Structure 1
Amino acid sequence: MLLSRAARQTNLRGTLPLSRKLSIAAASQGFARPAHRLGTSPILGLSASRSYSLWPSWGSKSSIPAPTQPSPDASTPEPVESVAGVDAPVSPPIELTQAEPNVVSDAASTALDALSSSPAAHQMGDFAAAGFGGLWPSGWVQTSLEFLHVQTGLPWWASILVLTAIVRTSLLPLNLGLVGNASRLARVQPQLAVLTEQIKRARDAGDSAALQHAGFKAQKLLESGGANPFKGLLGPLVQMPVALAFFFGIRNICTAGLPSLKTGGIGWFTDLTLADPTWALPILSSASMLILLETSAIEAQSGAAGHTRNFFRVLSLLTIPIVSYLPSGVLVYFVANGAFMLIQNTLVKIPAIRKRYNIVDKPAPPPGAKVTKSPTFADSLRALKDGVKEAASKAREQQEAEARARARANPGKRN
């Protein structure tokens, strides 16, 4: 029995590793006790002699299973296999160093800072929460701008342009009708001027019959010409409230410094809450007003209309330094409004539109009549001075007439 076991051990030594051979040699020389003293079978002895590693052994090659050997004596220490015979455990694929958590933390804090610094998207009701909106016309403008910005996704500068276009388009029929009325009024203006002078002389002379007759002729002239001098007042009564509503509505939300308006511009005026540092928007606004005067549909060449035109020419230049302090959002409205008024003047020249709104041409001067030139700025200044002197003289004459009337009413009373 012992010889057969030794023979089997000798045959297996050629196939076992060196460490296992040393272990078998030590056991064969009497260093191990019989297996029955441990109370285990040879198979259990083999499993008890295997060493286990706490590290995972992924990627390691499978070793050849060792044959069943007698269990060594419990009191005899079993030789430990050489470390070189066992594959080294593989390190985990990713191992964070001490500096890497700090890098991740810095990147996360940078991303959070960027998100916190970027303005939140504007939502419906933000103007109302900030105290804007309401039932005033300026509040309607603010609510309409907010609706366009939120529902369409347009930036603030584009929302101002679109709302201006909508309002100007809705007022276009009214404005074209007023242009037609002004053209018909200008056509009968020469005859109306003669009748107006007759009315003035009759009033000064106290001739009620002549006054009534001249007034009746003037009324018939206006009716036959299809002109109404009081209809011209409808334009300022409608357009002035609209312009003021846009001005105060946009200015109030811009001066409040709302975050979304600080990035709502384009080009060189990205911040709509600040004034334009380049003065480009004020110059464009004044230029649109000046071009509108020069290309107006009803040409005014002489008289009071010519002086009024010169006054607005000077005013358009003086407004440049004045409006330069306004927020860029207000100037965007000024430029857009002037541009659409220029479009309106272009539409007036279309024959179909002129026929639809009865826009007539200015009558040609009669043959042999002296053509008056447009007044210059010097002429307008002289006319202004003469007008002031005439108004002061009329005021003195009226005071003297009232004093004489009081004296006649109370002849016994002296001042």
Structure 2
Amino acid sequence: MAFVGLGARKGALLSSSIFLRRSNANARLFSSLLQNSRATRVVVAPSAFRSLSTSTPTPNPVSADNTPLEEVAAQADLDATSLLSDSVDTVASTIPPLQYGDFAALGLGGWSPSGTIESSMELLNVSTGMPWIWTIVAGTALWRAFCVPFAIYALRASARMQPHQAEMEKNRLEMMAAYQSKNQLQLLRAQAVQKEFNKKHGINPLGGLAGLIQLPVTLGTFFAVRHMAVLPVEQLKQSGLALIPDLTLPDPTMVMPVLLCAAVNVQMSVAAKDMMLDTRPGMGHFMNVMRVFSVFGVYIMSDFSSALMVSLLTTSTFTLLQTIVMQRSAVRRWLDIPVIPEGTRRSLPSLRETVAYARKSIDEFIEKGKLQQQQQQRRK
């Protein structure tokens, strides 16, 4: 009976094991079918008739407007690099303003005329903060204003001598004759007469030398601005005026050299009215020669820096205005400068008259040389 019961238990266990295996296989089959059913999608057709489809949909084609992420990132890096480069260029192109002591570090300044003017330009620019083009204009004008008292003194002395040129020339010839003849008594007498004449008319023969003080100022301004532009002072590359952006370079349009030539010619024509050309005709012809040379000077000035041309234009304009003001009768009376009679004012001679005067002077010089040779041969 025991054996019969044991056989029955084994049969039951075997049948239950077979049943479990079949159920597990069915479960796995059902799971796989469920996954496949989830993988299928319902696709809506673009046409008016919609139908269900269990087929796997095809991916949409990538259009030209859809940019891959790699290309977007590369473009962003390129834009950032370009922006950074532009920022660096902007910072590099911005020149810091001038500070006290920068000129000394560059070797500018000192106690010479040009060095003093260079130091004054630095002081003017740093203290006021003006753009460099206006610093040069203001600095040049201030130094010309410094020369005005000396110009007035020289003009006063010259104006007092002009009406008496004939008598003074006569006394000068007498002194020369006494000196050549070694007649000391006659020489002393002529000197005493000239001294008394000067005292009577308030003439100072050395008064005209006061005008020479303007020479170191004029030359100092010229070389100071030239040194600043040639070095160059970096701040001059940003002038502050759009028409002349870089003061270290020549004027490519040649406008400033032509303007300076015109200003110089006008200045000489105006200044000629203060000269006694009747008694001193050579001065008028000399100024005509200078006017001709000023035209050729345009080519030379074409290589000058814009800073130097601005300074020269300021000097010429200031001098022209000064001459016009000094010719006013009311101003001359106020400054104790003799007024030139209206009828005695003369304009410059023509160029044809200057050429004729030059030929005549050359012929007289040659003739005088021949006479001297003949006199020397006779003495031998």
One fold, TM greater than 0.5? Answer: yes
Query: What is the aligned partner in structure 1 of residue 228 from structure 2?
Result: 253
What is the CA–CA distance in structure 2 between the aligned matches of 1:155 and 1:394, rounded to whole Å? 64
User: Residue 302 of structure 2 is aligned with which of 306, 320, 324?
Assistant: 324
Q: How far has the Cα of 1:354 moved from its partner?
A: 1.0
Partner of 1:355: 333
Q: Tell me the secondary structure at the aligned position of residue 73 of structure 2.
A: coil
Whole-angstrom distance in 1 between the partners of 2:234 and 2:262: 31
- Is 2:248 aligned against 1:273? yes
For the pair 1:385 / 2:334, whether they are aligned, the reply is: no
* Structure 2: gaps of 5 or more residues: 1-71
- Residues 323 and 113 of structure 1, relative CA distance in 2, 3 Å threshold: closer
Q: Does the 8 A contact of 2:125 with 2:131 survive in 1?
A: yes
Q: Distance in 1 between matches of 2:341 and 2:143?
A: 33
C-alpha distance in 1 between matches for 2:168 and 2:320: 30
For the pair 1:174 / 2:169, whether they are aligned, the reply is: no
Higher RCO structure (Cα 8 Å, ≥6 apart): 2
Take 1:186 and 1:325, find their aligned partners in 2: how far apart are those partners? 40
**1:180-233 CA distances to partner (integer Å, 9 max, x unpaired)?**
111111011121122223333334444443333233222222221212222212
1:288 aligns with 2:266: no
Shift of the alpha carbon at 1:165?
1.6
Q: Which moved more, 1:290-299 or 1:265-274?
A: 265-274
Matched residue, 2:199: 223
2:135, 2:229 → 1: CA distance?
Answer: 14
String of CA shifts for 1:156-185, please: whole Å, max 9, x gaps.
111111112211222212211211111111
What residue in structure 1 maps to residue 315 of structure 2?
A: 337
Aligned counterpart, 1:264: 239
1:115 aligns with 2:91: yes
SS of corresponding position for 2:274: coil
Deviates more, 1:372-381 or 1:337-346: 372-381
Find the aligned partners of 2:292 and 2:180 in 1 and give their Cα distance.
36
Contact in 2 for aligned 1:156/1:265 (Cα 8 Å):
yes
- In structure 2, how many angstroms separate the alpha carbons of the residues matched to 1:301 and 1:348? 18
Q: Partner letter of residue 378 of structure 1?
A: V
Paired residue for 1:150? 126
Q: CA deviation at 1:396?
A: 6.7
- Structure 2 matches for 1:3-14, cutoff 5 A? none
| Structure 1 CA distance for aligned equivalents of residues 265 and 234 of structure 2 | 34
The equivalent of 2:135 in structure 1 is 159
CA distance in 2, matches of 1:319, 1:332: 16
Q: Which residue of 2 aligns with 1:49?
A: none
What secondary structure is seen at the aligned counterpart in 1 of 2:109?
coil
Q: Per-residue deviation at 1:365? A: 8.3
Deviation at 1:384, TM superposition (A): 4.8
The one-letter code of the counterpart of 1:258 is V
Q: Is the 8 A contact 1:187 1:363 kept in 2?
A: no
Residue 284 (structure 2) pairs with residue 309 (structure 1): no
CA distance in 2 between counterparts of 1:184 and 1:123 reads: 49
Q: Which of 327, 338, 346 is the matching residue for 2:324?
A: 346
Mapped contact 1:149–1:155 kept (Cα < 8 A): yes
Q: Among all aligned residue pairs of Structure 1 and Structure 2, give the percentage whose two residues are the same amino acid.
A: 27
Bigger helix fraction: 2
SS class of match (1:295): helix
Change (3 A) 1:207 1:392: same
Instruction: Give me the whole-angstrom Cα distance separating, in 2, the residues matched to 1:241 and 1:249.
Output: 11
Contact 1:254 1:329 in 2 (8 A): yes
Give the drift of 1:118: 2.6
Q: Taking structure 1 as reference, are residues 199 and 123 closer, same or farther at Cα in structure 2, changes over 3 Å only?
A: same
Distance 1:388 1:277, change over 3 A: farther
Q: Is the 8 A contact 2:284 2:348 kept in 1?
A: no
Q: Which one-letter code corresponds to 1:330 in the other structure?
A: L
Q: What does residue 60 of structure 2 align with?
A: none
CA apart distance, 1:294: 0.9
User: Match of 1:189, SS?
Assistant: helix
Deviations 1:213-255 (A, max 9, x none): 233222222221212222212212x111111111111111111
Q: In the alignment, residue 252 of structure 2 is paired with which amino acid?
A: P
Partners of 1:265 and 1:272 within 8 A in 2:
no
Query: What is the match of residue 201 of structure 1?
Result: 177
The size of the alignment, in residue pairs, is: 303
Q: Is the 8 A contact 2:244 2:306 kept in 1?
A: yes
What per-residue deviation string (whole Å, max 9, x for no partner) do you get for residues 58-92 of structure 1? xxxxxxxxxxxxxxxxxxxxxxxxxxxxxxxxxxx
Query: Shift of residue 113 of structure 1?
Result: 2.5
Secondary structure of 1:171's counterpart equals helix
> Alpha-carbon deviation of 1:364?
8.1
CA 1:133–1:103: 2 relative to 1, 3 Å: same
| Displacement of 1:150 | 1.9
Q: How far 1:349 moved relative to its partner? A: 2.8
CA spacing shift, 1:397–1:182, aligned 2, 3 Å: farther
